[in-house]
Structure 1
Amino acid sequence: MPGDAFVSHVTRLQLPGIDLGRVSPLHFTIGKDLHLDVPRIRHHRTSRLPPNSGRCLSVEAALVGAGCHVTLLQLVMIGDWLLRDRHTSVEKLTGEILASPRRPGAVKARRALSMLRVDAESPKESETRAVIVAAGLPEPELNVDLHDAAGFIGRVDMLIRDFRIVVEYEGRQHADSMGQWNRDLMRYERLTRAGYVVIRVTHEMLRRPRELVLRIRATLVERGFRGPDPPPWLTVHTLADPPPSRVVVARGAGTRLPACDFRSSAAAISGQSTPRAWQNWATRSWPSMWIMSESLSSRRAGHRSSSPGSPSS
């Protein structure tokens, strides 16, 4: 590659150590009109280079560009990881996304921004939380210490506090270690005695998100939840990358999509929202979750609103 080419997009995000699977093709951005055909290399031409240092774009610019090449849930997992390991900050991410509204990937990055959290401790916890919120269920608090009359019970992955529901992601280490397995069982018994319901999630369950969502919702309903049913199209594909072009907003038919409130998003990302704020947050920040198929949208033309689609890379 030319000396003025910068490592960018998914390739740049892999440099700090996040595992995104395969590394090919390698992505580079160059600030001039250049046509190359190099195996396993993808170059991106631009008239104005995003922020960069050395031979790499900034991680904030790379996250925006990656929106063209990864799903929305993957973008949330990447953003959570970058925030958790302090490779970036809420302010830097927000600033870059606001400064580049027309860059390829910016639309998806803007949608992902309000879903990011600084206190997510693993990519799978980020994915589980994003699935719960995308289905219109209350957003759980992350990594909460719980106590009973005897003292400290433990730290739970996710807590839907108003309904006393604990959601735990079970990685392979929980099954492979007998000591960890027994500690988990004792902890779950104490949580049950303290009045909590524990819902355990595995990698295989995340591959069937509709079943998982219905399971969580059924427990919520038993405890007084009165929110809407999850949409019938809810699948691993629509959750992973819901297209923004056809939506029905939960709060009413024919409502135009609101602009993302970045100040409110920054407060939510930093964990400053109140436990009961999930209804307003979900409606404001995730309207495009209510995706409908083209045929269903055409039958309910009066119940549609539109937002611009993502530009191509």
Structure 2
Amino acid sequence: MVEADGHRLTTPERTWLDLATQIHDPLRLVAAGDALLQRQDGPLRGIEVLGRPHPLATLADIDAAMARRRRTKGINAVRRARELIRAGVDSAAETRVRMLILQAGLPEPVVNQEVWLSPTLKRRPDLHYPGWRIAIQYDGRHHGENTQLNSDIHRDSDFTDHGWESVKAADDIYTARGEQLFLERLRRAIQRQASVD
């Protein structure tokens, strides 16, 4: 148990285990687990969210909670999700993109790690393949705002100028056609970048 604003609550990792009995979509359970592990300097949570700053839990916290509740209802779903959760994911949309990639049989990309494009320039793609120099970005609705749009243009230009390819996913990944189009773009980028090496 933890205390927040005078209320006794279950720990974030225990709450995640409890969600396994309520969430029947494995992707959503993985996204909830990823949300516990957001990077320390990740996007701010809304003021309505109680709890500590990022991350809300660690993999060790989750593993310890699983060990204490190994016979609880939903534990098999939790075990499957635990294999897929990753530290550093900034949003459920990023989880979805990563899971689409894995379900398509493609290698798992690196999550939210900074990349040095030159000795003086670093960027943090949502996901990336360092060997192929492919940056994968989820640009959702908020990326249409002028400030964010300008930032995205400069970011993508930086990658391109340094021999990387950017592959973008947008809100259409929540449709079968959008998933297919995104995966086609990614496969073409992998083919192009693999032929460069």
Q: Give aligned pairs, total.
A: 173
Q: Output the amino acid matched with 2:161.
A: R
Match of 1:62 in 2: 15
Contact 1:167 1:200 in 2 (8 A): yes
Tell me whether 1:151 sits opposite 2:120 in the alignment: yes
Using the alignment, how far apart are the partners of 2:151 and 2:22 within structure 1? 40
What percent identity do the matched residue pairs reach? 24
Normalised by the size of structure 1, how large is the TM-score? Answer: 0.49
Match of 1:190 in 2: 158
SS in 1 for 2:111: strand
Match of 1:175 in 2: 144
Match of 1:212 in 2: 182
Q: Output the amino acid matched with 2:156.
A: Y
Q: Structure 1 residues 83 and 180, CA, compared in 2 at 3 Å: closer, same or farther?
A: closer
Q: List alignment gaps of at least 5 residues for structure 1.
A: 1-5, 7-15, 17-53, 226-313
Q: List alignment gaps of at least 5 residues for structure 2.
A: 39-53
Contact 2:168 2:182 in 1 (8 A): no
Using the alignment, how far apart are the partners of 1:97 and 1:149 within structure 2? 42
State the Cα deviation string for residues 106-134 of structure 1 (Å, max 9, x = none): 11110111211221122221222222223
Contact 2:114 2:125 in 1 (8 A): yes
SS in 2 for 1:159: strand
Contact 1:83 1:118 in 2 (8 A): yes
Match of 1:33 in 2: none
In structure 2, which of residues 82, 86, 110 is the aligned counterpart of residue 117 of structure 1? 86
Match of 1:221 in 2: 191
Contact 2:37 2:87 in 1 (8 A): yes
Normalised by the size of structure 2, how large is the TM-score? Answer: 0.75
Q: Structure 1 residues 144 and 93, CA, compared in 2 at 3 Å: closer, same or farther?
A: closer
C-alpha RMSD of matched pairs (Å):
2.6
Contact 1:206 1:212 in 2 (8 A): no
Q: Structure 1 residues 210 and 109, CA, compared in 2 at 3 Å: closer, same or farther?
A: farther
Contact 2:13 2:36 in 1 (8 A): no
Using the alignment, how far apart are the partners of 2:56 and 2:159 within structure 1? 35
Tell me whether 1:83 sits opposite 2:52 in the alignment: no
Match of 1:255 in 2: none
